[in-house]
Structure 1
Amino acid sequence: MKRRDFFRKGTSAAIAAGTIPMIFTSCASTNDIVYDKPKDKWYHLGTGKSGIPNRKPIANYDVAVIGGGAAGICAAVASARNGSKTVLIQDRPVLGGNASSEMRVHLNGVNNLKGKAERETGIIEEILLHNRFENEQESFPIFDHVMYDFVVREPNLTLMLNTQAVEAVMDGDKIKSALCWQATTEKMYTINASIFIDCSGDGLLAATSGAEYRTGREGKAEFNETYAPDVADGWQMGASLLMSSKDMGRPIKYSPPSYAIKYTHEGAHPRRHFKWFKDGIWWIEVGSDDDIIADFEENRHKLMAYLHGVWDYIKNSGNFPEADNLALDWVGSLPCRRESRRFIGDYIMSEKDMTEHRDFIDAVAFGGWSLDEHNPGGIENISEPPSYFHYHFKSVYQFPFRSLYSKNVSNLMFAGRNVSQTHIALSSSRIMATCALQGQAVGTAATICNKRNILPREVGQNYINELQEQLMRDDAFIPKRPAKDPLDLAKKANEIFGSTTSSGDAKNLINGISRDIDGEINHWQSDGLNAKIQLEWNIPVNVSKVELKCDTNVKRNIMMRKDSKNDKLYGNQVPKEMLKALNIEGRVNGQWKKLGIITDNRTRLIKFNFNTIKTTAIRINMTETYGMKNVKLFEVRCYA
């Protein structure tokens, strides 16, 4: 198929021309090409029987999440934890998407705010903290296994690796089933679910469902975007291929492979620099003005050729004597995609929504990475800068729920770079930790859909408060939206006080804002350890759950980096501020009763569950952090 034919022939033709073979016909009367195969003469020596293998399983779930990157993991875990039987379908042998060992992109988020961080909390922070405990050596292959552990330990969640959702089976405007090809088992699964969430980036399942989408760059006029081109075009930001090297302690020779494309740097823009080349060069990038998905294999070969050409230049041009002892120790073979399909929701997020910090009544996530428009031609246009501009935000922006579900497929949601947004908006929100926040939002929304037997649009119209409150209870942060859960008994306490205070106020723990932000203090901090917080009720209340949010220093990033930074903005260890050991007590009939103890806490959100007591006071005793002399809290909640 010619590249331009993609836009004339539509979705079905695009799929047929892509890298996934059309190995079945789901709704037609013709034979199944893979499984109706009379020439399969399987003779099993153990049983002495012949037959055709039956590899067409059917599985039923409440929620099916497609794509196991940061967005998909957070969507699936949120769905499972909130009560939906969930399946996570990932087309690779590892989880993590661009952050996996296959691609090794730093899991960035809002760490680009005018030189300060405002890190994401919730499920994505749990993953990064889990990695800090289990992967002190900062190995990307071990990070794969950390993420695997994080997913498979959830009792309500099924993981399917090496599996791609290749076609949606429709029932009116709903997806009834996803047909999923598992390459390692030769199985074609039929996955039935009430709600589907496409976090795969490219969005093949969503495209086959008929969900509306667009590709390319909007012109300035459509959304009044300052940074958009004057006229709409088809350009999409390219994919990059990364590598890393190590110092061998002696001179190491390098000879490029046969397919390398020679690189000279002649006429290159000054901003195409070689700083930090030891850990990869992100501008080894190739984009497309047409069908970037169908061009993937061609671009992959180009990127491998360009990468080795650039490394040959570094090693053999004589301009980099500091590279004499360096040898490649890892080279990516799977390019890291930035952009392809963007599906259309009830709202299309645009540049001005971000730069003007517009408030959304249905805000469920936030972002703040700079608007970052890459050179569409990538390394094939070296006379231009690799990135045209960075519009740096001073504070975070909101992201609305209406951009996270399909306009025309009623039980389909999205999270990640394929959500409803313009090309310029994507240049900021495509960052993985921002995508993860969207994932937690839609995974949580999916459970509301199932509990109430409704569809995503109705969640946004009638149950957005319920969604926002659950997200914040689960430690997601929504800018300018304090938590107001009417079931939280802590807010009804007649008194709350600390044993000592060095900063903040104990009353901040029930103000609904779970971090210090925009210059406002929302914490209580002790003066030393052992420290206590106590809540008092004049009339006894029934309590069975106590939840608190401790300090993990969200002003400092904890994602894994190849250069293992440990400075004001980046930390490569477990945050010293985090609470490690604590216990809680309840006052029953005038006597203090032990309710729970934790000696090795590993999360910001700390939960105690116990048999219901009728109490007039709850006391939290905090005895140890991971290194700080004071303990800081941001929230306390109590529930019956």
Structure 2
Amino acid sequence: MERRKFLRNVAGVAVASSVLPLTTSCKSLEGSATSLGASGNGGDEQWYQLGTGKKVANPTRKKTEEYDVVVVGAGIAGISAAVASARNGAKTVLINDRPVLGGNASSEIRVTLNGVNRLSTGLAERETGIVEEMMLENRLYNPQQSYPVWDHIVYDYVSREPNLTIMLNTQAIDAETKGNKIVSARCWQLTTETEFTIKAPVFIDCSGDGLMAAKAGALYRTGREGKAEFNESYAPAEPDGWQMGASILLQGRDYGRPMPYTPPAFAKKYDGDNANHERKINNYLDGYWWVELGSDHDIIDVQEDNRHDLMGYLHGVWDYIKNSGKFPDSENYALDWVGSLPGRRESRRFIGDHMLSETDLTGHRHYEDAIGYGGWSLDEHNPGGILDIKERPSFFHEKFKTVYQVPFSSLYSKNIENLMFAGRNASLTHIALSSTRIQGTCALMGQAVGTAATICASKGITPREVKQKYIKQLQEMLMRDDVYIPKVAANDPKDLAKKASAVFGSSTKSGAAKNVINGISRDIDGEINHWQSEGLPATFQMEWDTPIQLSKVEIKCDTNLHKNITMRKQPLSDWQKKSFIETVPPELLKELDLEVRVNGAWVKVGVKDRNIARLIKFNFDEVKTSAIRIRLKETYGHPTAKLFEVRAYES
């Protein structure tokens, strides 16, 4: 019987079952027949609770909870949103329908956490902020590059935020609205059989598919825009329903001895001899992203059909590798891990005040409400996916020489006043999505909406009002938290470092000392924005003519943003070694102290002896001082140290 017919027949049985009498009987523990009511809960004596000797009703678990900010979906965008919201003072809940955090980057799917990994210049332009903090910790604590260990590093990173509650195995399945605002989200937690009603003034949907946002009535679209609507050269002539597909990955392992392979019954033959030459089988360790299926109608509706078929195609590709005789070097390789959950690229795209389009990216349009950037190529996957193997798997229409801006007005709903979104469900055209869907870019969107949510919650305003009245505040908050916004220089009026009368280092190899207060915290587009010592140890000093009250000093150091730190199983080729780092970046400061001058004497107020972040924060009891001195002791291997920014604040 065909699988689709079988599913329909099963559905028919379920329907038939639903018209049975509402009362039936079953055997109780004592062996006598007990009538169960229509609710199926058996009244007050359904559950015989051993150990207590009690007969109790089957529990109906319902809870109502209230937060300042609700974030739905814990992929990299959702994590960044939730952590940003919590750190900036909002009581936040992060709701995720899977047992692990990370979404496509988790061990369940294992998509490489890419960002602006490589521009057409050959350089990376790596994202900083929350996403980099997680990746740096992974480099230190997970040198074996294990995805299950990465899951726990991410969980540790998120769970230690004191203002943040994590709800795993929980799906937001509905939304209650009042007027044009969401009042609450209705959630089901599978593992505890509990229905939650989650109330808040601000909601963020980072779930990718955006079920909660759709249930709330937020406007969205699917498919491909035609060329004319946004003047997109890479769009089809006429609009259609195609959505880029989902993929299932595999990981192979060399066992050092011959490893035969027999495909399962559901495997689908892969005709690799007639496949496009760009469907490369050049390693057996990282899988093949082009094992992909999309949809030209409702990609969510066919998810389970596509999952089954993708698993079959994946085994078909491995069967071709192992048993076609064309890959003798695969003899000792076997499957070490096979995915069962497809990683989706596209489904709903919600409509905001601005829809980011191809020409916005390629024309490097400037936005007054810019909150981050992207730069991955226009990477539109082949309609048909693995069903169209004679076509190249992705078109890579255009690569960028430098990064483009992402505006805040593409990250909140046009018609639901207290709803924001970040990631692949943002307000984008299909062609723009081909670049912005990359997880590093999604992380910057997430950090932006999480930060904006705290402004909304504290001021009782909508995201649109943030854009209209408080966008400079949002930008300054993001840049202080180490988000780079192209063509925007930080100018926080509360930053006392801007008022220093003297800024100097003990030695200088490159860059001017005053670069650390110029508001641009990275070298980019050929411009130097750092100070670098000649060697280590070194000191960096700031002085004020009039003593200041001080309790916070924040430093941005070097993590070599022009190299990639994503996880990879495949050994690096010579050209990849020029653009990848497999360890903690050696340029990162590992040990440093902070001193303040009080009544002519230096007093130590902060010590970092195992730093693992680009943004280094020193918090101490407020003192009256006329100078600070940063003692740079050691990096993770580089002989010199760079500083890109130094800030100073009162309490």
Task: Pick one of 458, 462, 468 that aligns with 1:461.
Answer: 468
Separation in 2, partners of 1:578, 1:120:
15
Q: CA deviation at 1:277?
A: 3.8
Q: CA deviation at 1:37?
A: 4.5
Map of 1:587 onto structure 2:
597
Separation in 1, partners of 2:583, 2:394:
31
Map of 1:113 onto structure 2:
119
Map Cα deviations across residues 281-314 of structure 1 (whole Å, 9 max, x no partner).
Answer: 1111111000000100000000001111111111
Runs of at least 4 residues off by over 4 Å: 34-37
Map of 1:275 onto structure 2:
282
Separation in 1, partners of 2:280, 2:214:
38
Worse-superposed segment, 579-588 or 349-358 = 579-588
Map of 2:370 onto structure 1:
363
What is the RMSD of the two structures over their aligned residues, measured on CA atoms? Answer: 1.5
1:39 lines up with 2:42 in the alignment: yes
Q: CA deviation at 1:592?
A: 1.6
Separation in 1, partners of 2:230, 2:105:
32
Q: CA deviation at 1:35?
A: 11
Cα pair distance change 1:564/1:56, threshold 3 Å: farther
What are the residue-to-residue correspondences of 1:231-630 with 2, within 5 Å?
Answer: 231-563=238-570, 565=572, 567-630=577-640
**Identity rate of aligned residues, in percent?**
64
Map of 2:190 onto structure 1:
183
Q: Structure 1 stretches of 5 or more lacking a match?
A: 1-16, 22-33
What are the residue-to-residue correspondences of 1:100-179 with 2, within 5 Å?
Answer: 100-114=106-120, 115-179=122-186
The aligned amino acid for 2:268 is I
The aligned amino acid for 2:403 is V
Q: CA deviation at 1:134?
A: 1.3
Q: Structure 2 stretches of 5 or more lacking a match?
A: 1-10, 16-36
Q: Is the 8 A contact 1:76 1:443 kept in 2?
A: yes
Map of 1:56 onto structure 2:
62
Map Cα deviations across residues 195-219 of structure 1 (whole Å, 9 max, x no partner).
Answer: 1100000000000000000000000
Separation in 2, partners of 1:430, 1:314:
30
Map of 1:31 onto structure 2:
none
Q: Which has the larger radius of gyration?
A: 2
Map of 2:105 onto structure 1:
99
Q: CA deviation at 1:70?
A: 0.4
Map Cα deviations across residues 122-167 of structure 1 (whole Å, 9 max, x no partner).
Answer: 0000000111111111100000111110111111100011000000
The aligned amino acid for 1:620 is I
Map of 1:72 onto structure 2:
78
Q: Is the 8 A contact 1:201 1:416 kept in 2?
A: yes
Separation in 1, partners of 2:39, 2:613:
51
Cα pair distance change 1:583/1:35, threshold 3 Å: farther
Map of 1:203 onto structure 2:
210
Worse-superposed segment, 41-50 or 517-526 = 41-50
Worse-superposed segment, 524-533 or 342-351 = 524-533
Q: Is the 8 A contact 2:71 2:93 kept in 1?
A: yes
Cα pair distance change 1:159/1:96, threshold 3 Å: same
Map of 1:633 onto structure 2:
643
Map of 1:84 onto structure 2:
90
Map of 2:6 onto structure 1:
none
Separation in 2, partners of 1:263, 1:541:
70
Separation in 2, partners of 1:273, 1:209:
43
SS in 1 for 2:343: coil
The aligned amino acid for 1:102 is E
Separation in 1, partners of 2:103, 2:632:
38
Q: CA deviation at 1:529?
A: 1.2
SS in 1 for 2:311: helix
Q: Is the 8 A contact 1:63 1:86 kept in 2?
A: yes
Q: CA deviation at 1:501?
A: 0.2
Q: Is the 8 A contact 1:112 1:392 kept in 2?
A: no
Map of 1:3 onto structure 2:
none
Q: CA deviation at 1:276?
A: 2.1
Map of 1:219 onto structure 2:
226
The aligned amino acid for 1:477 is Y
Map of 2:23 onto structure 1:
none
Map Cα deviations across residues 475-507 of structure 1 (whole Å, 9 max, x no partner).
Answer: 011000000000000001111011100000100
Q: CA deviation at 1:36?
A: 5.5
The aligned amino acid for 1:227 is Y
Separation in 2, partners of 1:562, 1:166:
37
Q: CA deviation at 1:273?
A: 2.1
Separation in 2, partners of 1:195, 1:499:
48
Separation in 2, partners of 1:598, 1:289:
54
The aligned amino acid for 1:39 is G
Map of 1:193 onto structure 2:
200
Q: Is the 8 A contact 2:96 2:167 kept in 1?
A: yes
Separation in 2, partners of 1:197, 1:507:
39
Q: CA deviation at 1:278?
A: 3.6
SS in 1 for 2:577: coil
The aligned amino acid for 1:68 is A
Map of 1:9 onto structure 2:
none
Separation in 2, partners of 1:43, 1:587:
71
Q: Is the 8 A contact 1:564 1:572 kept in 2?
A: no
Map of 1:28 onto structure 2:
none
Map of 2:3 onto structure 1:
none
Q: Is the 8 A contact 1:358 1:397 kept in 2?
A: yes
Map Cα deviations across residues 332-372 of structure 1 (whole Å, 9 max, x no partner).
Answer: 00011000000000000000100010100000010000001
Aligned length: 609
